[in-house]
Amino acid sequence: MPDPSALPPHLTADDLDRLIAGRHAEPFGVLGPRLCDGKRWLVAIVPEAERLEAVFARDMVELARLAGPVFAAQVPKSKYSYRLCAHYADGTRWEHDDPYRFGPVLGEMDRYLLGEGTHRQLWHALGAHVMTHEGVAGVHFALWAPNAQRVSVVGDFNHWNGAQYPMRRVGHTGVWEVFLPGLGDGVIYKYELLDAHGAVRQKADPVGFGAQHPPATASVVRDISGYGWKDGAWMEARETAHRRDQPISIYEVHLGSWKRRWDEGGRPLSYRELATELVEYAVEMGFTHLELLPVSEFPFDGSWGYQPVGLYAPTIRFGPPHEFRDLVDTAHRAGLGVILDWVPGHFPTDAHGLAQFDGTHLYEHADPREGFHQDWNTLIYNYGRTEVRNFLTANALYWFKEYHIDGLRVDAVASMLYRDYSRKDGEWIPNHMGGRENFEAIAFLREMNTIAYGEVPGIMTVAEESTAFTGVSTPVDTGGLGFGFKWNMGWMNDTLRYIEKDPIYRSHDHHLMTFPIDWAWTENFILPISHDEVVHGKRAVIDKMPGDEWEKFANLRAYYGYMWGFPGKKLLFMGCEIAQHGEWNHDKTVDWDALKGENHRGVQTLVRDLNHLYRATPALHRRDCEAAGFKWIANEPEISKIAFTRHGTKDDAPVLVLCNFTPVERPDLAVGVPAAGHWEEVLNTDAAIYGGGNRGNMGGCDSLAGERDGCAQHIRVTLPPLATLFFRLKRN
């Protein structure tokens, strides 16, 4: 250790010890150039260097080693710009700009908003940004870690040595920052923290824009600026497409298993390949939107993305960020919206993630009765902390603004709303009023929806919520949570229970198909047949159907017809549209070979035609969320018959939906209709093109005078076995 009298005036022996040990909390107070007693001193830290020089425009000053990797020298007062040149034992040299000669990047407004926890564009301040600062190209790093004693950026560029690039504190914001010149896009990095307890831990960047391919866990610098969007027409018009009076039919997709390249080791398609193949397929099938299982970076494939670590990073599994934008941009130009599954409810305990980030329970609750999900072995965000709510709300805006995402489907909302979710007595802490509602999570969801709808025109948010919590899709200013739509889990559970039964027993459970209308107008509903219904022993949709091969397919076709006729927007998980056998497996792919079978092709054609009919027929969608859009015609449990009409405005032709859930044909069946005229048979799930027996009504029926089912007019039809028929009144 050098004589303290030989140290630069601003550097103490204690400073030197802490620099060497990588424990100095204020490195910018001692490193870099400093004017002391009329002299300018330069202190630098370069591990493993044998010699170190400061190279000015015309001069070179050799720095003396103080101890370990710390060097110092007196330098000319008038020379501010310099580079460091390190010489190593193997004869190599490294010339670089000294990070400690640069001023802060974060401005006064950033500091104010960060300190307040209200920075709505948080990703502009935190994370790793490729930029030019004070005339030099490099990367600015910024991290929120208020309880850390020291934070450094580490990577291959400094041999993962946390002593080399410690960061500066940004006032009292809890944020640390440093500008590292010479780095750029593609650099691998982590943050090394000396945590609140003096332990050293390495963490991925919570606001990083990229990550290594799992199982590697580092973040990757990604320059997300400068993308040339070509979707202006879609972005201007999408607000109309997301109104509740518009047709919305969603194709839910797990990108990793939609298709694979088996000739290339079974790899999944890239974002750019999906931009061609998936978009073309969804458009051909008549869907209005893609819904993607989470694309935020996640460590474990088996979580399907529902345990994310990098909320701000599109997963590298299918390509870098700009290529994900290619997928979104292509979808938009094809008239297809893109919804992301978003997971603000919990996060995994992986060591490189958010858990005990700075040695404290920074993002999560300390008490496991509030902060641990027993079902998923994950941690729950502390929604009562302003900075955590800001982190999540800004993330929603990030996907909307940076990636032009059209909607977020929020996962597991029920688990957020209730403190006792999936917990026994004594395993949860009541709220301050002694109840089970999670007021902090409710406030967060309202805030997120208010800000998202207020700042980004034309978007939609969707809640996966399975309880009777009221007002999920009611505006915040009238007491609701503010979502645009809610999944109708009750409809899904009831109707699947019904359709799985042998037809001989269905008459006893007819209410399962009719009861959902009793709450159909309480929310803006989406009818989901999602990924959760075809995994974990629940069987593929076709395998849920009873009977022999013919009955299975006829049942499924009739059920899909009922689903597309019933009030509510539509969602179907990939593979269900071709009636593939076998549960979904994230390690495999949709069983496209099934389409070699006529019945499977028939179901696919039916789903396509249902989508096109739904979109082209206002009565089937314009009042999806209003009681005026629906009227019961007949319910006959003893023969498992259902009949109802759908209505739009007075100028829209009404549609009669007629279902037979028995394998018995009903010839010459009288059914009431709300108006006189010719009723066109616009879709019949028993048509031969769908794999049916081609029993129908020769294109339509003329109404007959005479009361039936409470109507003054009726039609006489052939109702095929296990079939759903659509009749539309023909307007002159």
Residues catalogued as catalytic = 411, 464
Using CA atoms, how far residue 388 sits from 129, 296, 446, in Å, is: 21, 17, 15
Q: What is the 3-state secondary structure (H, E, C) of 528-594?
A: EECHHHHCCCCCCHHHHCCCCHHHHHHHHHHHHHHHHHCCCEEEEECCHHHCCCCCCCCCCCCCHHH
Q: How far apart are the C-alpha atoms of 329 and 321, rounded to whole Å?
A: 12
| Coil/strand/helix, residue 83 | strand
Quick check: 345 and 383 in contact, CB under 8 A?
Answer: no
**DSSP assignment letter at 391:** H
Q: How far apart are CA 220 and CA 226, in angstroms?
A: 18
Q: Angle, to 10 degrees, between the axis of helix 232-241 and the axis of helix 321-333? A: 70
> Distance between CA 533 and CA 235 in Å, rounded?
33
In 88-174, where do the E strands start and end?
Answer: 93-97, 127-133, 136-144, 150-155, 168-169
Residue whose entry in the numeric block shows the structure tokens 């990073």: 313
Is the CB of residue 152 less than 8 Å from the CB of residue 203? no
Cα–Cα distance for residue pair 624/628, rounded to 1 Å:
9
Give dist(CA 266, CA 307) in Å, integer: 24
Closest CA to 14 of 542, 4, 6, 5: 4
- N-terminal to C-terminal alpha carbon distance within the chain: 99
List the structure tokens of 432.
Answer: 């301050």
Structure tokens, 685: 């799930």
In this structure, what token pair is assigned to residue 665?
A: 């044909």
Q: Give the separation between CA 686 and CA 669, rounded to whole angstroms.
A: 16
Structure tokens of 732?
């002159």
Contact (CB, 8 A) for 53 and 47: no
Distance CA(490)–CA(701), nearest Å, equals: 35
In Å, how far are 182, 313, 337, 352, 493 from 317, measured between CA atoms? 27, 11, 22, 18, 33
Cα separation values, 149 from 168, 178, 207, Å:
11, 15, 20
Torsion angle, alpha carbons of 294, 295, 301, 305, to 10: -30
Q: What angle do CA 34, 37, 42 make, to 5 degrees?
A: 25
8 A C-beta contact, residue 211 and residue 218? yes
User: Two tokens at 542?
Assistant: 């076709």
C-alpha to C-alpha distance for 625 and 243, rounded to whole angstroms: 11
Q: Cα–Cα distance between 278 and 269 in angstroms, integer?
A: 10
3-state helix, strand, coil in the chain (%, to 5): 30, 25, 40
Tell me the C-alpha distance between 122 and 207, whole Å.
8
Neighbours of 109 (CB within 10 A): 10
Instruction: Give 364's contacts (C-beta < 8 A, 6+ positions apart).
Output: 347, 354, 355, 356, 371, 379, 380, 381, 382
Whole-number Å distance between alpha carbons of 654 and 5: 94
* Size of the chain, expressed as the number of residues it contains: 732
